[in-house]
Amino acid sequence: MKDDGSITTDLSTLSDNVLTFYADMFFKSQKHKARIALDTQHNKIRTKDATIMTFFLGATLVQLIFFVFFLTLPQYGGESD
């Protein structure tokens, strides 16, 4: 099994190869423009994911607040005089 250092190196090499290929095909070998295009291409997906995560975080926070609220309420009933 490979250690983490070689996996990172392999991934870095593969990423560089993809960037080089993309730059050669679409940006006349200009890696900087190709990197910007690849980084901005998935920006909407990241924004959508952040929105969904924020919604679920807010819902979880509201549930936690209700849970704490109901735990701190005094208990009534149980004994009758």
- For 28-63, letters b (16+ CB in 10 Å) and e give eeeeeebeeeeeeeeeeeeeeeeeeeeeeeeeeeee
pLDDT of residue 75: 76
Pick out the chain residues at pLDDT < 70.
Answer: 1-4, 42, 45, 77-81
Q: Count, in order, helices (H) and strands (E) of the chain.
A: 3, 0
pTM: 0.47
What is the per-residue pLDDT for 32?
94
> What is the structure's pLDDT at 77?
65
